[in-house]
Amino acid sequence: MKDIIDTIGLIADGMRIETTTRFRVTNPGTGGVAGHAPDGGQEELDRAVAAARGAFPAWAATSDEERARLCMAVADQIESHAEELARLITAEQGKPLGGIGSRWEVGGAVAWARYTAGLSLPMQVLQDTPEGRVEMYRKPLGVVGSITPWNFPVLIAVWHILPALRSGNTVVSKPSPLTPLASLRLIELMNEVLPAGVVNSVSAADGSFNMGAAMSAHEGIAKIVFTGSCGTGQKVMRSSAETMKRLTLEMGGNDAGIVLPDADPKAIAEGLFWGAFINNGQTCAAMKRLYVHDDIHDAVCEALVAYARTIKVGEGTQDDSVLGPVQNRAQFEKLSRLVAQAKETGQVLLGGEPGEGLFYPPTIIAGLTADDPLVYEEQFGPALPIIRYRDVDDALRQANALDVGLGGSIWSSDKEAAKALAGRMECGSVWINSHGMIQPNAPFGGVKKSGFGVEFGEEGLKEYTDIQVIFA
């Protein structure tokens, strides 16, 4: 594995790009070295964009059936290297291999790739009358720049790249400098089954060269698809303005869950836990604040804590680890600050004290209000604030009060009542008695400052195209 990690490179036009230097990638579970990644700059970016532009005409002209076949070949390629990719993810991201961890992430990437390969956007006849025929076509944009985060490095890369390919675009992919290895290896594997130049990769050390900004401003890139923080997404939007790029921005959220008084505390405890703590809480659409009706508040807290106590936190290669470390020091320090502030006014029901290294136990804090930073800031880690309420309309008002809106959830024994309340939540996705369970056939995106544009399904595929109407 070490030899593989330290030889992963950048790809342009199907060929390896050598860089003068490589940068260290830290293993958050051990504090040691996960590997070394290529430290690229403007030259490498220009070369990757040129390769993608050169490959675009032939790829766009490839038949729909052939592109579908090749996208399915990508899915098969990922599946055949699943264990290798999972171990790379664990080494650099920290999540466990088993459970809802690295192997689960790669399995999700395979499933998403296969589903996307089966999508299509055929020509639509808008009118066919004696007065004339009107046809609408979906045409690829050109080069798509993909900028991915550190929480799901392979899965989110597939979310970006496969619909771009399926709709006839070519790609330049940039992973997070915190987790570049699995993503770069993914691009190497794709290039074993795709024509040269269709998918290319760049990477740079944090602070050495702002590759994301350079991509956003690059005249040769037609669209940026970005997943990450609100602040970084705003920068992408600003730097893309001069070249009028198309954008899909899936940014941060602060998802609220509302537990209605008719919910069964023991029945929902496991779902509440995983809604909040999947990937150690390091998920854009994780539940980050929980509003519980006064009638069942204590019972919900008791059941949730009882389930959370069964969860083992440990280094990702240990067979019994269920959750791993926080991925990086900056996120760990932010989480620690928010929890420390919450402890001053709230009641710690579980956790609350940092562990060794970057490990932080699942933390549940009750007795908080809208004025507490752990409630109104996105913690992006394993800490859940619980807010007691008496009036459902007040809970809904608090849930909608923030300037982000990615996801939300309603927990109730009455599904119809829950659906009625769900329709009043100001967010892109709402789940009933679960949270964050996205799927490839359902469009996913945010409202307000959580971004714009959607991913997944036919609606997500359309995001990678322009419309052309022919009047005949």
Domain boundaries, the chain: 2-251+450-471, 255-439
CA atoms within 13 A on the CB side of 228: 23
Same fold, 2-251+450-471 and 255-439: no
pLDDT at 5: 66
Residues contacting residue 466 through CB under 8 Å, at least 6 positions apart? 138, 139, 140, 141
pLDDT at 7: 82
Is 3.40.430.10 the CATH classification of the domain at 2-251+450-471?
no
What's the rounded mean pLDDT across residues 308-327?
97
CA-CA distance, 174 to 119, in Å (whole number)?
25
What's the rounded mean pLDDT across residues 237-260?
96
pTM (two decimals): 0.97
pLDDT at 247: 98
What's the rounded mean pLDDT across residues 441-446?
97
pLDDT at 196: 98
CATH number belonging to the domain at 255-439, selected among 3.40.309.10, 3.40.50.2300, 3.30.980.10, 1.10.287.3510: 3.40.309.10
Residue with tokens 């579980």: 350
Residues contacting residue 456 through CB under 8 Å, at least 6 positions apart? 112, 159, 438, 439, 440, 441, 442, 443, 444
Q: Tell me which residues are annotated as active site.
A: 250, 284
What's the rounded mean pLDDT across residues 220-238?
96
Helix (H) or strand (E) holding 419: helix 415-422
pLDDT at 197: 98
Q: 55 vs 48, 165, 199, CA distance in Å?
A: 11, 12, 9
Cα 302 to chain centroid distance, Å, stands at: 31
Joined together, the tokens standing for residue 446 give 């945010």
Confidence of residue 75 (pLDDT cuts 50, 70, 90): very high
What's the rounded mean pLDDT across residues 380-404?
98
- Which ranges in 128-229 belong to alpha helices (H)? 153-166, 181-190, 211-217
Residues contacting residue 43 through CB under 8 Å, at least 6 positions apart? none
Q: 81 vs 84, 106, 110, 164, 397, CA distance in Å?
A: 5, 9, 11, 22, 47
CA atoms within 13 A on the CB side of 58: 9
Contact 395, 291 (CB under 8 A): yes
The pLDDT of residue 1 is above 80? no
Residues contacting residue 57 through CB under 8 Å, at least 6 positions apart? none
Nearest to 11 by CA among 148, 187, 156: 187
